[in-house]
Amino acid sequence: MSATLRTAGLFLVLTAIFVGFGWVIGTVFFGDWLTTVVLFLLLAAAMNLVSYFFSDRIVLMSYRARAVTEAEAPALYRVVRRVADLNGLPMPRVYIIPTPTPNAMATGRNPKHAVVAVTEGAFRVLNERELTGVIAHEMAHVRDRDILVMSVAATIAGALSLLARMAFWSSLFGGGGRNRNDNGLLYIVAILGLVLVPFAVLLLQLGVSRSREYKADREGARTLGAPDALADALEQLEYRNRQNPIAFGSPSSSGLWIVNPFRGSWFANAFSTHPPIDERVKKLRLLARGQDTY
């Protein structure tokens, strides 16, 4: 499925969930579902536009990323330019994220508006060979236009989480509808929605990101002809992120990173937006020996 179709599907999912929430909230809390459905439909349209045009800025702001010039980061520019040239892509904008946790991401709506962001910690942990492998992975996302789908998914996930919190606070203060005493079933539906929305957000991200990570690993490694470079980098990054998870940002955008920077319970790890690192490394080691198991 093309990136355009996947993005359109995400927009439809967002619209459907917003309209559904509008109906539940309007019926249960205000006794007027039509008005709230129209309002939530307009809100969904606005969110779709914001997700398409500004998802990269939203993500970068949430991680306090700053743009750097070639004079400020010549080594990073050299690596990014080399990999962009190998992929036949325009030079993306380059950002630095101020955290000692080593990691990297790509975002943007298309290759002409792409951004590659690397944390400060990545420079201290990775050598140039490993960093090149990481950038090759990220540029594979850019080439396949995964960056739009993943950035939109992150923005939608954040929006749905916000919507769930809004509904939660509305339920605490009670509704003002005419049929308050007759809406027990709808109250149950509303509460179930509050419980299920975070899980739906997780499934949305799983469907978008897991298969794309394997593909980006393979394509990035083949572009450089050095699968072991990315495998070594992934092992380093996974170890460091387990020891020192990132201290800010939102888990809703975890799928944008090359490894998951957020760590939690066994349940959260089991449903991670990323495939297991051991499996990713194993496939790369086999690829280095000429065995393509993707």
At 16-60, the pLDDT tens digits run 877 887 787 777 767 778 888 998 889 888 877 887 888 889 899
CATH code of the region 62-146+207-288: 3.30.2010.10
Catalytic residue, chosen from 138, 213, 219, 238, is: 138
Least confident range of 89-93, 103-107, 186-190, 218-222? 186-190
Q: Say yes or no to pLDDT of 194 above 80.
A: no
Residue 106: φ, ψ to 5°: -130, 145
Distance CA 138, CA 123 (A): 16
pLDDT at 191: 62
Distances (CA, A) of 49 to 65, 71, 111: 22, 35, 19
Distances (CA, A) of 12 to 17, 41, 58, 200, 292: 9, 11, 21, 14, 36
Q: Say yes or no to pLDDT of 291 above 60.
A: yes
219 is catalytic: no
Least confident range of 82-86, 191-195, 215-219? 191-195
| Mean pLDDT (the chain, rounded) | 83
Q: Tell me, yes or no, if the pTM score tops 0.85.
A: no
Q: Return residue ranges of the chain for CATH 3.30.2010.10.
A: 62-146+207-288
Instruction: Take residue 143 and report the two structure tokens written for it.
Output: 């080439």
Mean pLDDT of 242-263: 86
Pairwise pLDDT comparison (290 vs 28), residue with the higher score: 290
Question: 79, 76, 88, 94: which is closest to 140 by C-alpha?
Answer: 88
